[in-house]
Amino acid sequence: MFLSSTSVRITAAFVAIAILCLFAADLAITTINPWQDLAALFLGMVTPDFFSLEHIGTALLRTLAFAFTGVALGSISGFLLALVFRFRAVRMFCAFIRAIHELFWALIFLQFFGFHPLTGVLAIAIPYAGIFAKVYSEILEETDPTPERVLSRKVDVLSSFLYARIPDALPHLITYTSYRLECGLRSSAVLGFVGLPTLGYYLESSFSQGYYSEVGALLLLFYVLIATLRLWARPRLIPLYVIAAPFFLGDGLPIVWGNVVRFFTQDIVPSPLRDGEGLSGLWHWLSDLAVNQAMPGIWNTLVLTQIALVLTGLVTLMAFPLISRHFGGPTRRGLGHVVLVIARSTPEYVIAYILLQLWGPSMLPAIVALALHNGGIIGHLIGRRSNEITLRPDAPKGIERYGYELLPRLYSPFLAFLFYRWEIIMRETAILGILGIYTLGFFVDSAIQNIQFDKAMVLILVTAFLNIGVDAISRRVRARLKLKVSMTCEGH
């Protein structure tokens, strides 16, 4: 079995683009003792201090509460949108809201809701509604329409939909929603980096003070939470968790509704229009914003994304044998599962934050973080796919088995998942600018810090449309290569 020439050409093109991007990327390590700091972090990971964390129980509880509440609202809204997803306006709306990262939504809501639980819940629920709508609609479309057509002759359309199509799609809907819950836990943890009382808040505090044993304890607890998800998040218990979650969000600060009104009527209105400068002033304002912030942000975001995408592919190709039954025994596969659970469970933002403290501000921490996390996700999926392949008894072993037997059969699903993650990597690249990397997120965060919400909103819109464009290109590439991603696996 050989790789198609189209797959080879497209792969070569993306690798060539990534190599060219390397010449434009800032990949320097600027800290004085990066390896000493890395060793100290590793020592903290292997010597976690669970007893010094006073509020760890509250942090975990809030992380779970935000995740369950946000994902529940997102899934309900997404299902309703999926029912009318065939309309172009709905598809465009869903594409727009899911193109804006959860942290960007959080930064927006912080400006008028403040540190209120509603900020975190909506920051998760809104983009997840767009994601759920897209995936749920595709799951419903993939079900066999015959039972519904037969039943619709006897009962009304709604009854035939509920009793014929939903039961067929329900296992896939449940599977995908459970995958998305894991993503929600990661999103909830990361919200702590903007001040909400989740795990990320305490992680940033401990790391900034050099308490690496506390950092190790927090990360290990989060890994255990993710690894045991299927044990404690059983389907029969989920309704109970969803009902209880809002009561554990905390009170936060009260909402000042005057701030909400001012935000929409004044703060996000471009300053030339507020000051009466007219369209000529608005054009000059937009031109200056485009030249000095939007264009540099777009360029750095694209450069970083393309390098991270190709490196993600390399990490995936090295990672999937770790859990494949065609290489090694149960012990090695068990260790491989632990490695991939850590890689895919740690949010890119957390990995980038840690590496940024160790290596200094450059694109290198972001590239490594994106490649490790996304490579762990796709490596897990491709490794599971490899376990479904049956080899002939006289199949070669070692590198020949990898290169001649498995890789050609797995390359199409590998590319499908990689190009699906392309748009997700772009979203994460933009948001990593909050950490000081000169992507679009850096300029968004700078505008918010300078109380220039009008500029921040324009830059967030630029980020959204950039993600929509990359998603459209990704779909075209997958269509040309005739690649299909299983809807029940996309959530990883």
Kindly indicate the confidence band of residue 298, based on its pLDDT and cuts at 50, 70 and 90: very high
User: Contact, 208 vs 41, CB < 8 A?
Assistant: no
User: In this predicted model, what pLDDT tens digit does every residue of 12-39 receive, in sequence order?
Assistant: 999 999 999 999 998 888 877 777 777 8
Write down the pLDDT at residue 398: 82
Burial of 411 from C-beta contacts in 10 A (0-12 / 13-18 / 19+): buried
User: What gap in Å lies between CA 313 and CA 305, rounded to an integer?
Assistant: 12
High-pLDDT (> 70) share of the chain, %: 92
Residue 384 has pLDDT above 70, yes or no: yes
Summarize the confidence of residues 232-244 as an average pLDDT: 89
User: What gap in Å lies between CA 399 and CA 376, rounded to an integer?
Assistant: 21
Residue 134 has pLDDT above 80, yes or no: yes
Q: Which residues contact 469 (CB under 8 A, 6 or more apart)?
A: none
Write down the pLDDT at residue 443: 94
Residue 5 has pLDDT above 70, yes or no: yes
Least confident range from 156-165, 319-328, 410-419, 438-447: namely 156-165
Summarize the confidence of residues 109-132 as an average pLDDT: 92
Residue 483: name the closest of 413, 433, 425, 421 by CA. Answer: 413
User: In this predicted model, what pLDDT tens digit does every residue of 337-366 receive, in sequence order?
Assistant: 889 988 988 888 889 988 888 888 889 999
User: What gap in Å lies between CA 39 and CA 325, rounded to an integer?
Assistant: 33
Summarize the confidence of residues 468-492 as an average pLDDT: 70
Residue 120: name the closest of 254, 249, 255 by CA. Answer: 249
Tell me what the pLDDT averaged over the chain comes to.
86
User: In this predicted model, what pLDDT tens digit does every residue of 38-48 receive, in sequence order?
Assistant: 788 788 888 88
Residue 294 has pLDDT above 80, yes or no: yes
Q: Which residues contact 337 (CB under 8 A, 6 or more apart)?
A: 322, 323
Residue 408 has pLDDT above 70, yes or no: yes
Kindly indicate the confidence band of residue 491, based on its pLDDT and cuts at 50, 70 and 90: very low
High-pLDDT (> 90) share of the chain, %: 36
User: How is residue 293 annotated by DSSP?
Assistant: I
Least confident range from 10-14, 202-206, 454-458, 476-480: namely 476-480
First to last CA, the chain: 28
Write down the pLDDT at residue 69: 96
Least confident range from 131-140, 206-215, 300-309, 425-434: namely 206-215
Least confident range from 350-354, 397-401, 452-456: namely 397-401
Residue with tokens 């599962």: 337
User: What gap in Å lies between CA 31 and CA 200, rounded to an integer?
Assistant: 23
Summarize the confidence of residues 68-89 as an average pLDDT: 92
| H-only helix segments in 83-164 | 88-99, 102-113, 117-142, 146-152, 157-160
Write down the pLDDT at residue 373: 94
Summarize the confidence of residues 392-414 as an average pLDDT: 85
Residue 490: name the closest of 474, 476, 466 by CA. Answer: 474
Residue 489 has pLDDT above 70, yes or no: no
Write down the pLDDT at residue 205: 86
Kindly indicate the confidence band of residue 153, based on its pLDDT and cuts at 50, 70 and 90: low
